[in-house]
Amino acid sequence: VRNHIAMAIVLLFGWLRDFLNEHVFTPEPSAHEQEDLKDFVPLYTTFERFFVRNVIERGYDVLHRPVCTVPGAVIDIRERKFSSSGKFLGLTGKVFRNVVNLGSYNYLGFAQNEGVCADAAVKAVAELGTGVCSNRFEVGNYEIHSKLERKMAEFLGVEDCMTFGMGFATNSMNIPCLVGKGCLVISDACNHASLAIGCKISGATIRVFKHNDMKDLEKILRHSIVEGHPRTYRSWKKILIIVEGIYSMEGTIVNLPEVIRLKKKYKAYVYLDEAHSIGSLGSRARGVTDYFDIDPTEIDVLMGTFTKSFGASGGYIAGRRELVEHLRLNSHSACYGVSMSPPVAQQALSSLNVIMSEEGKERITQLAANTRLFREKLRTFGFIVYGHEDSPVVPLLAYLPSHIACFSREMLARGYGVVVAGFPSTPLGESRVRFCISSALSKQQILDALEAISDIGDIMRLKISAKQILYKFGKLKK
């Protein structure tokens, strides 16, 4: 109730501010649509623009902070100036040194400028340059790309693999190669924007099921097969279920065994996006299939990126050889996109070699231990935390946009860098702090960070979990 009242007050003052800017004071350009833009399709809905203008912009100083070092366990961050309007944000000149990084996707700690991976990438720059200046169809197909693809296919346990220079384009440009008009895509409600855009471009019919809700997924599958096309009632050419391994805003792990059961029952296909789960889940870091001990050949399309656990960039699609050969000939990302930079490919290949070694097992074990410790302590403190206990993506609910801005500033003042997210990236009343745990963090760094989070939670009164009440009355032991 407290959060709803606070949100109502914020929206009321935002409406009052816009009214005064438009009718009383000098008109504020951002308070209404510009004359020369009225014939264009708006980038935001009316309410989204209203919310960004009156709420989000007042916390822009906690976003887009320039990072001055590699995104390892400790980073340097430049401070931005706070602005009441959010429109003019410069730099104060102050640099926060040795900030503990709790926000990067550096799950296995490969984002560093020293060591085997960094040395190999530097050598690749000297031998092959920083860019190929072409696509894979022309003169941009280097041996390093083929090596990476063979190694990735071996790592995943599938027949073949194809890499792409951009993770976002791996989804948005390749889904249209797999489905089209006359096909049906059934997508999780929390799927990434790259998946949503790829589905829209494809021309296929799109239906959305509730996040990780297998009963809703089966209901849509059953009705879609019975009813067929909305107008002609003909059967669908193909039904493709699209899910993610770990959802980056929810911290949840897909119920893959049930997805596969439904796929077999209704003769559908599965597209699995492992951007966050590859390298971070499973005893061998092979993603959600490894986590559930499922044969990867059960998945029709395995997609992932090198931008997280591998400390590189780009993406891949793996599976049967026929699938990969089809993409090599038809993918717009391969035809028109520039090939992956050689040093980036070498970084991904080197980190993959480490993951498959004894050192890799140690990093995987450390990541799992850090994740469980961090999640367990947050829940013990009384915070509301989303996601599964083995997910290194840890969203902590702060509810109000003012809370996440304050939380970020307070954490930075204590020497910790965090990522915060609010509407329209999240539902209106579910602003959150999104922690991403890394194996590069020591146990002491984790414990010190938890102490700082607990102190800020007390100040901001964010400890509202039902468990906290039981702790206070001695019914549960910490």
Query: Which of 38-42, 312-316, 356-360 is predicted least confidently?
Result: 38-42
- Residue 45, pLDDT > 80, answer no
Contact 185, 163 (CB under 8 A): no
pLDDT at 334: 87
- Residue 71, pLDDT > 70, answer yes
Contact 166, 181 (CB under 8 A): no
Helices and strands counted in the chain (H then E): 17, 13
pLDDT at 473: 43
Contact 417, 349 (CB under 8 A): no
Return the bridge partners of 241, or none. Answer: 186, 270
C-alpha distances in Å from residue 357, one per residue of 8, 155, 361, 362: 54, 12, 7, 9
pLDDT at 370: 97
SS3 105: coil
Contact 174, 327 (CB under 8 A): yes
- Residue 59, pLDDT > 80, answer no
pLDDT at 37: 57
pLDDT at 312: 94
C-alpha distances in Å from residue 392, one per residue of 272, 290, 371: 18, 16, 5
Domains of the chain: 1-101+361-470 (3.90.1150.10), 116-356 (3.40.640.10)
Q: Which residues of 262-288 are buried (b: 16+ CB within 10 A; e: fewer)?
A: bbeebebbbbbbbbbbbbbbbeebbbb
- Whole-model pTM over 0.85: yes
Instruction: For 121-190, give the DSSP string.
Output: HHHHHHHH-S---S-TTTT---HHHHHHHHHHHHHHTSSEEEEES-HHHHHHTTHHHH--TT-EEEEETT
- Residue 227, pLDDT > 70, answer yes
pLDDT tens by residue, 338-387: 999 999 999 999 999 999 999 999 999 999 999 999 999 999 999 999 99
Q: How far apart are CA 385 and CA 366, in angstroms?
A: 21
> Which residue shows structure tokens 């693999």?
161
pLDDT tens by residue, 134-173: 988 889 899 999 999 999 999 999 999 999 999 999 999 9
Handedness of CA 303, 305, 310, 313 (dihedral sign): positive
Query: Which of 45-49, 211-215, 366-370 is predicted least confidently?
Result: 45-49
CA angle 75, 103, 462 (to 5 degrees): 120
Query: What radius of gyration, in Å, describes the C-alpha atoms of the chain?
Result: 24
Query: Which one-letter DSSP state was computed for residue 397?
Result: E
pLDDT at 427: 83
Pairing of strands 431-436, 393-399: antiparallel
> Average pLDDT in the 299-307 region?
96
Return the bridge partners of 73, or none. Answer: none
- Percentage of the chain lying above the pLDDT 90 cut: 71
> Which residue shows structure tokens 């995987």?
364
Helix (H) or strand (E) holding 421: strand 419-421
